[in-house]
Each structure stands twice: as C-alpha cells, then as structure tokens.
C-alpha cells in the first residue's frame, strides 16, 4: 500500500542504503569493467583513493589470466612507479598483506601496492601498507616499459596487466539543492527537457531508477525539482507532484541518511494521480510531465531546498592516454582517438586554456 506523505521532510525512517560499487577497482588492462574508466595518475593521488586504499584496499573485479603476466600497476598514462624522479623510482606492484599478489587465475581482494625485494630501485622491498599523501606525491609514470628480471613479460603483446579503474559518476542524480545546499561539482541542475529526454529514459530504465545522494539535512522539500520548477504529473487533471520511492515502491523517501541509493520516481504528494510509481520511464510517462508554479502550492512553502534532478556535465572532453601494445583504447562509447583537426580546433584550444592543460 502506498502512503501519501506531506512534502516537507518530517524525518521519516531512513531508507536502507543500497550497497554501492567501490569507487576504485583493479582489473585487467584489456577489459574495462562496466561502469568504470581507466584511472589516471591524478586519480591515484586523490583523497578518495587514499581513503579507499587505507580502509578496504582495491578489489580485483576480474581474475589474472593464465598466460603471460606483467606485474605492474597501470593507469591511463602508463605504468605507475614511485620515487623522487623518473630515473630513480620503482614500478608499483599489487600486494596483499605484504606480499606480491600477481598470480594467474587468482582474484585478490583488499590489495595494496608494494615493490618486490628483487626489483632494483630506491624502494626495493617496500610495502605501502598505509598510504599517505607523501607516497601519493611520489607516484609517477615514467613512460618506459618495464624490463629486466621481474618484468620481462611486460613487453609481450597480450600480457595480462593490472589496471586501476575509477567509477564513472552516474549521469543523473537526485540531490537536495537550495540555499546552503549547492549543486555538487561536475553536475548542473537538469531542465524539464532533460527529464523528458530519451537519454534520461535509457539511464533510468537501465539502472532501475535514479541515484539519490546526500539527504543529510533536517529540512527540505521532497517534491522533485528541475530548473523550471517542481514537476507534476498530468497537471491538466490537477497537480500530482513527483517524489521519490524506495525500490519496493512502497515507501515515499523523504528523510535523512538516504545517501546513495537507487530510487524510483512517482507521484507521492497529493493530487488525483497520487501513488503512481514509474518502474520505467517512457513516452507515456513523460508526455504527462510538466512543471507547476511554487506559488500555487502550499506544500513546501517554508523551505527553499528541494530534491533536485542533476545532470553530469564534467566528463573531460579530451584526455591523453597510452594506447598500443597491451594498452587498448578506451571503449568508443567513452572516447575516440582525436584527429589532428581536433587538436587544431577552437574547441580544443578553449578546453586546454580553460582547464589549464
């Protein structure tokens, strides 16, 4: 049974957060895990990476292949190493509990980085059991293919190579936005057209809803908002405002501590069509959606922050990544190799100058 709630948060029981995929995982360089993109050196140097490394470590989402193994950790720019300079550094290897973890047909979890005792260099035999910003600052990519004793398979075409992947942020999220609750970086408030778009329908139907993040505030309006205003369903028959529902479709989600869970959109707050939950988004749903005027609605008159649909905007348009033997290009759905005309374009020039590189 669906219960209608009033639209201003009254601290209803917190929903059970759906377990999220870790932000960083390890896998084989040849196979990009779905929902992830190859991490960059800067990603390994981020605070998020440090936090995950020191709390749960990095899990392999695929096992090591049975064939040739190149036991060096890879990122977008190439093989990762640690040291004060390019010529004075050691290649990083996956370690588990202080020993190398690079064995055919195994799929280790909770891995960290280390340098085996038989790898010559300044940090020979060092295990980074706890990552600090000092070590992160020493991470580098020298541009050289590892060779010699422990690394002679790295030059072989098709050698299984560990790569670190970072989760691609969801394209659409719902988050509280208003005074004191800014739009998170990398996102912009979606328009009604975004909500009605085929792109949103595909995203919603593939994921089974939309990800709701950060609801840790005591007072907000739970009517779904886009840049034009609150969204209502079949307003011709009388406004039925949209809200968010749990996976079971029974609970209206309008509380605190509901960060990072998949939610359904439905009509939760009064009106003739209240209690309709959209398990899928399609034209028969979107053709009846519109925005309505805040002034006409007594709900939420005391709060200005609302659950707002946001759209990701920050995927870097241009990246530099090693492509070649052992280094497949990223999926064409993410990136294609640029042409000389791309590099000469005004768009590239603007991007380069805006982003400082």
Ligand X SMILES: *[C@@H]1O[C@H](CO)[C@@H](O)[C@H](O)[C@H]1NC(C)=O
175 and 184 Cβ atoms separated by less than 8 Å: yes
Of 54 and 117, nearer to ligand X (C-beta) is 54
The site map against ligand X for 90-109 (x = CB under 6 A) is -----------------xxx
Residue closer to ligand X by CB (options 78, 209) is 209
Here's the x/- map for ligand X, 129-148, by CB under 6 A: it reads as: -x-x----------------
Q: Which of 255, 251, 241, 171 is nearest to 205 (CA)?
A: 171
157 binds ligand X (CB under 6 A): no
Q: With contacts defined by CB under 6 A, name the span among 17-25, 70-78, 167-175, 282-290 that binds ligand X.
A: 282-290
When asked if residue 179 is in the footprint of ligand X (CB under 6 A), the reply is: yes
Interaction between residue 21 and ligand X (CB under 6 A): no
Give the nearest distance from C-beta 176 to ligand X in angstroms. Answer: 13
Only one of the segments 136-144, 251-259, 275-283, 325-333 lies at the binding site for ligand X (rule: CB under 6 A); that segment is: 275-283
Q: Which residue shows structure tokens 């980085």?
A: 113
d(CA 45, CA 53) in angstroms, rounded, equals 11
* Cβ 215 vs Cβ 176: under 8 Å: yes
**Does 293 contact ligand X by CB under 6 A?**
yes
Min dist CB 103 to ligand X, Å, is 10
Binders of ligand X in range 106-125 (CB under 6 A): 107-109
Is 280 a binding residue for ligand X by CB under 6 A? The answer is yes
Kindly tell me which of 282 and 336 has the beta carbon lying closer to ligand X.
282
Asked if 282 touches ligand X (CB under 6 A), the answer is yes
Q: Does 51 bind ligand X (CB under 6 A)?
A: no
Piece in contact with ligand X (CB under 6 A), picked from 210-218, 278-286, 335-343, 348-356: 278-286
Q: Least distance in Å: CB of 146 to ligand X?
A: 25
Considering the complex, what minimum distance in angstroms separates the CB of residue 99 from ligand X? 13
Rounded least distance, CB 105 to ligand X, Å: 11
When binding is defined by CB under 6 A, the residue of 14, 285, 319, 329 that contacts ligand X is 285
Confirm or reject binding of residue 302 to ligand X (CB under 6 A).
Answer: yes
Q: What is the C-alpha to C-alpha distance for residues 222 and 3, in angstroms, rounded to an integer?
A: 14
> Which residues sit at the interface with ligand X, rule CB under 6 A?
54, 59, 107-109, 130, 132, 179, 239, 278-280, 282, 284-285, 293, 296, 302-304
């Amino acid at each position: 049974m669906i219960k209608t709630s009033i639209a201003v948060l009254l601290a209803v029981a917190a929903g059970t957060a759906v377990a999220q995929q870790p932000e960083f995982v390890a896998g084989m360089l040849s196979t990009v895990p779905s929902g992830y993109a190859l991490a960059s050196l800067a990603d390994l140097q981020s605070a998020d990476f440090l936090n995950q490394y020191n709390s749960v470590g990095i899990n392999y989402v695929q096992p090591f292949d049975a064939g040739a193994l190149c036991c060096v950790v890879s990122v977008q720019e190439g093989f990762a190493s640690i040291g004060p300079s390019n010529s004075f550094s050691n290649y990083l290897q996956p370690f588990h509990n202080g020993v190398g973890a690079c064995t055919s047909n195994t799929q280790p979890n909770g891995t960290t980085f280390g340098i085996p005792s038989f790898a010559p260099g300044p940090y020979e035999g060092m295990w980074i059991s706890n990552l600090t910003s000092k070590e992160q600052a020493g991470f580098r990519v020298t541009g050289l293919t590892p060779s010699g004793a422990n690394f002679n398979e790295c030059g072989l075409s098709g050698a299984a190579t560990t790569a670190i992947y970072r989760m691609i942020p969801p394209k659409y999220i719902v988050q509280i936005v208003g005074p004191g609750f800014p739009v998170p970086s990398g996102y912009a408030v979606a328009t009604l057209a975004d909500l009605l778009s085929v792109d949103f329908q595909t995203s919603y139907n593939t994921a089974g809803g939309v990800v709701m993040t950060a609801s840790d505030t005591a007072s907000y309006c739970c009517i779904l908002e886009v840049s034009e205003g609150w969204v209502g369903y079949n307003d011709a028959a009388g406004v039925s405002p949209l809200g968010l529902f749990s996976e079971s479709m029974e609970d209206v989600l309008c509380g605190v501590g509901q960060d990072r869970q998949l939610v359904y959109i439905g009509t939760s707050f009064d009106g003739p069509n209240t209690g309709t939950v959209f398990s899928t988004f399609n034209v028969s749903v979107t053709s009846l959606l519109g925005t309505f005027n805040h002034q006409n609605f007594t709900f939420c008159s005391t709060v200005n922050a609302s659950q707002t649909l946001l759209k990701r905007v920050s995927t870097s348009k241009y990246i530099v990544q090693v492509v070649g033997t052992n280094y497949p290009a990223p999926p064409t759905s993410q990136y294609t190799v640029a042409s000389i005309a791309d590099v000469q374009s005004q768009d590239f020039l603007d991007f380069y100058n805006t982003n400082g590189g």
